[in-house]
Amino acid sequence: MFKGSIPAVITPFNGDEVDYNALNKVLNHLINNGSHGLVPCGTTGESPTLSHDEHKKIIEETIRIADKRIPVIAGTGSNNTLEALEYTNHAENSGADAALIVTPYYNKPTQSGLYQHFKTIAEKTNIPIIIYNIPGRSIVDMSIETMIELSKIKNIIGVKDATNDLFRPLLTRKKMQNDFCYLSGEDGTALAYLAQGGQGCISVTANVAPKLCAEMHSAWQDSNISKAQEINLQLSSLHNALFIESSPGPVKYAASLLGLCGENTRLPLSQIKDDTKLIVKKCLQELQLL
């Protein structure tokens, strides 16, 4: 259902407020440069720092600006099942194409708790749901067995896999129905994930190199493996630079250099170091993005 380069969209701020004019600029930049989908209000969008009203308005604005040109997968996750359900219902009613729901962070639920969390949301909505498995941020790791059981629920249709375990998609695909959607959540291993049966990547790098990221995925889909590998190699230093410090600090600085939005993040994320800025700027220059 979903494939290709799908930016995990940054949330621009102007002081303490969401900068909706800059958001419009960012979204059109991503769409006009060939992105295959959009994910607002995910980790890269600093969703834990957004108010309920901000979260909902960003989803609504993204859907409005995208205007069905490319799919919108709304980030609707929370460590509170009722809150995640509220966000998911809102995304569905607003016209999102799918919802991306993270495994609950901080609470450390068991596999049974994870199953019940996603089952509860799925059974009370009709929107396609993508499980977001990111143990590095949420501490909990959804097992393959739990994911298989959840995939039997009709509107749980895929996973954003940010485990960086490239054996996992193979192990999962052997036991799962054929139409489950596999999206990488790690830019540095996205191409390798495609080789293991993935269909795309929900990407941080695609915020600032959307054309190159989209071209890499299109080359893969066209069986032009050498071109995909060439682009992947070109992007490798940028992939690395954008995670020297906690994301989205570096990618928002990169976006500011491109004139898309301001570089500021919300606390507890602080401004990135000058040394990091130099590395990020150099990567953009090497890619002739500056």
pLDDT in tens, 90-125: 999 999 999 999 999 999 999 999 999 999 999 999
Q: Left, alpha or beta for 250 (phi > 0: left; psi -120 to 50: alpha)?
A: alpha
Question: How much is the average pLDDT of 31-49?
Answer: 97
Residue 1 has pLDDT above 90, yes or no: no
Which is nearest to 182 in space by CA: 122, 117, 130?
Answer: 130
The mean pLDDT of the chain is 97
DSSP three-state, residue 102: strand
Residue 283 has pLDDT above 80, yes or no: yes
Residue 177 has pLDDT above 90, yes or no: no
Residue 46 has pLDDT above 80, yes or no: yes
- Tokens representing 85? 């359900």
CA 138/CA 267 separation, integer angstroms? 18
Pairing of strands 200-203, 4-7: parallel
Q: Look-up: residue for tokens 């996603």? A: 118
- Tell me what pLDDT residue 263 has: 97
Residue 50 has pLDDT above 90, yes or no: yes
Question: How much is the average pLDDT of 251-278?
Answer: 97
Active site positions, annotated? 132, 160
CA 290/CA 41 separation, integer angstroms? 27
- Tokens representing 52? 């309920």
Reported as a pLDDT band with limits 50, 70 and 90, residue 232 is very high
Q: In this prediction, what percent of the chain has a pLDDT beyond 90?
A: 97
Report pLDDT digits (tens) over 160-176: 999 999 999 999 998 88
The CATH number given to 4-222 is 3.20.20.70
Residue 178 has pLDDT above 80, yes or no: no
